[in-house]
Structure 1
Amino acid sequence: MRPARALIDLDALRHNYRLARRLGGGKALAVIKADAYGHGAVRCAQALEGEADGFAVAFLEEALALREAGIAAPILLLEGVLAADELPLVAEHDLWMVVHAPWQVEALARATLPRPLDVWLKLDSGMHRVGIDAEAYATTWQRLRALPQVGGLVKMTHFSRADEPDHERTREQIDTFAAVTAGLPGETSLCNSPALLAWPQARGDWARAGLMLYGASPFAHGHAAGAQLQPVMTLESQVIAVRDLPAGEPVGYGGTFVAPRPTRVGVVAMGYADGYPQFAATGTPVAIDGRPGRLIGRVSMDMLTVDLTDHPDAGVGSRVELWGRQVAATEVVARSQTSAYRLLCGVKRVPLVSVGG
């Protein structure tokens, strides 16, 4: 069997959730959209269900998969419904939904439902993607509050630059949210992962922990709170072939790496079809049998190459960690023209193996 796999540390997942909840000071949703950022949504939800205040997914199909797997905790649809005919299913499966557009308000007003729905009304405080405009927010809140189809009503927004701790945009969005929602009762939700870690002034009743839940920092540079995170995924494989090259010989497609000295090359069963970044540069860190090593040459679809010259005991069967406990995902990101979000969400084809119970 091919040795490539992704180990999913469920104890680390629980640690990161508890950190998010502690930093937020209130309740926290575990964001497990996009198959829990590539970590396996059902298994992550099962690992957290005993302590998570609820979960968040992008759209209805993701929520229904969790319900079918027996997840009974609250689940918030971050995109809300995408069509009016989804509303009965939202009610049937006891889901919460974000309302971010006027047409969703009108769809709710026309719907015949077996029970009122809990709604999170999203303010566009400056992200300018989705959300109710500041001028219309209070009126929309009052309209929803009066509808028999609406039960609980939470006020929320989303930050566009919270991963830049020194940028004033987040402060501006916090101030906009406070001004627009002043006098409107009910719970609030502002913090995504970077805001939880870097913007204590943005705390609300509900936090929404996404990337940090999986142990990856949202910041381009080090951050004190981010250092407390534990990586959940360890992507690993093994050396499947070894060859010795004289100085001056190239390795792989395009000959992007030329051996500067006699070089011992290890071929690893891992490639961009598995989700390892295709454009990771020579020198991207790996761990070889627990010791620091480096990638050399261009990443192929199914294989990549590492430098074994200073690893005399390594050979066929040697374990290679691509990221995880020894190699931080952010170190790979820094050399790969990508982001931590894309890195983790892009993992595919390799089996997910849960550890930590």
Structure 2
Amino acid sequence: MASGTLTVDLDALVQNWRALAGAPETGAVVKADAYGLGVGPVSRALAKAGARTFFVATAEEGADLRHALGEGPEIFIFSGHMMGDTEMLHDLALTPLLNSIDQLQRHLEALPKARFGIQLDTGMNRLGMEPAEWAAVKDMVMPSNPALLMSHLSSADEPTSAMNLSQLRVFKEMTEGCNAPRSLAATGGTLLGADYHFDLTRPGIGMYGGAPFQSGLPVAYLELPVVQVRDVEAGESVGYNMGYVARQPRRVATLAAGYADGLIRAMSGKAKLFYGQRECPLLGRVSMDLITVDITHLSDTPASLTLLGRQQSVDTLAQGAGTIGYEILTSLGARYTRRYSGG
């Protein structure tokens, strides 16, 4: 097989989702094609496990999710009601989280009887109505029974950050007396404790085995095939621009994956792959379709090496490349053979 194999453990995903439950209801964030792991299989496994509320970034993602799930589950759209979204929101029963007075006006004029939620800005300054904006329209909005009032924590992955308590206080002030379900916590907020849970939590990265959910099970397993093995003599170089020069004889395996498959170029000379539990360092630069790996210390000639799995999490791999697990997962390319277990 010429392409790598990405195996997604749906049972582990569901177990992580259940472990992150805390509020009366636990939703699921499946934006960006379920963080790169496949929105259809992932969302169906979560729905089978009991999830009834899902979150995506755009109406287009919501359309894909509705086709995967069918009628029934509620699908919230973080970007709200954008120009050109009206027909899609109506026909597929998608629920926009309105971020501004302009979006509120657009929605109420175009779809006066359709469900909507409100996103509030409690200090992140990214999406949502600021306190003064919300105060100006709250009394007009609440009689329409919004499906959700939500905000997003900027520093939930830093439990001691003063920003968490500040945003919690602002969220309580902005929603005081509002008879509507409330949501503040994604994965990090869920781990901060019950004060942040309100009516609905919406775990994302933690479901997929990423930080800050340290006890999460691995969900993504990535195996890369060996295309060729060669002997490199001392003084010879490997890869583009002599990115690695051998000081002594090396046995080098060329594997079928590169930055076109989500192995970002910043991994060059830093990442590790595994043969069982034995580490095999990546040599030289990551190229578009190929990487080169030192297997000198192996007595066998491997057919493949492991990049993600129990030996190495997405966050460990990301740390070596100076990034975060989110980028690793969402960058996984379309060329992998995808397999799903469990669910």
Task: Please give the alpha-carbon distance, in whole angstroms, between the structure 1 residues aligned to 2:194 and 2:237.
Answer: 51
Residue 98 of structure 2 corresponds to which residue in structure 1? 99
Residue 301 in structure 1 maps to residue 288 in structure 2: yes
Letter of the structure 1 residue corresponding to residue 141 of structure 2: L
Task: Please give the alpha-carbon distance, in whole angstroms, between the structure 1 residues aligned to 2:329 and 2:296.
Answer: 30
Which segments of 5 or more consecutive residues in structure 1 lack a partner in the other structure? 219-225
TM (norm. structure 2) is 0.93
Letter of the structure 1 residue corresponding to residue 132 of structure 2: E
Matches within 5 A, 1:242-253: 242-253=229-240
**Out of 304, 325, 339, which is 1:353 matched to?**
339
Matches within 5 A, 1:75-86: 75-83=75-83, 86=85
Residue 46 of structure 2 corresponds to which residue in structure 1? 48
Residue 121 of structure 2 corresponds to which residue in structure 1? 124
Task: Please give the alpha-carbon distance, in whole angstroms, between the structure 1 residues aligned to 2:255 and 2:88.
Answer: 46
Residue 166 in structure 1 maps to residue 160 in structure 2: yes
Matches within 5 A, 1:212-291: 212-218=206-212, 226-291=213-278
**Out of 173, 182, 189, which is 1:188 matched to?**
182
Residue 343 of structure 1 corresponds to which residue in structure 2? 328
Range that drifts further, 68-77 or 231-240 = 68-77
TM-align CA RMSD = 1.9
Does the CA contact (< 8 Å) of 1:121 and 1:141 recur in 2? no
Give the superposition deviation at 1:112: 4.8
Does the CA contact (< 8 Å) of 1:155 and 1:188 recur in 2? yes
SS in 2 for 1:242: strand
Letter of the structure 1 residue corresponding to residue 203 of structure 2: A
Letter of the structure 1 residue corresponding to residue 20 of structure 2: A
Task: Please give the alpha-carbon distance, in whole angstroms, between the structure 2 residues aligned to 1:175 and 1:298.
Answer: 48
Alpha-carbon displacement from aligned partner over 1:185-222 (angstroms, at most 9, x marks no partner): 2221000122122454322111111111211114xxxx
Residue 61 of structure 1 corresponds to which residue in structure 2? 60
Query: For residues 101 and 335 of structure 1, do their structure 2 counterparts lie closer, same or farther at Cα, with a shift above 3 Å needed?
Result: same
Identity of aligned residues (%): 32
Range that drifts further, 280-289 or 162-171 = 280-289
Letter of the structure 2 residue corresponding to residue 202 of structure 1: Y
Alpha-carbon displacement from aligned partner over 1:197-254 (angstroms, at most 9, x marks no partner): 2454322111111111211114xxxxxxx22211211121121211122233221112
Give the superposition deviation at 1:94: 2.4
Does the CA contact (< 8 Å) of 1:45 and 1:71 recur in 2? no
Does the CA contact (< 8 Å) of 2:2 and 2:227 recur in 1? no
Task: Please give the alpha-carbon distance, in whole angstroms, between the structure 2 residues aligned to 1:339 and 1:106.
Answer: 37
Task: Please give the alpha-carbon distance, in whole angstroms, between the structure 2 residues aligned to 1:117 and 1:213.
Answer: 30
Which segments of 5 or more consecutive residues in structure 2 lack a partner in the other structure? none
Letter of the structure 2 residue corresponding to residue 186 of structure 1: A
Does the CA contact (< 8 Å) of 1:4 and 1:270 recur in 2? yes
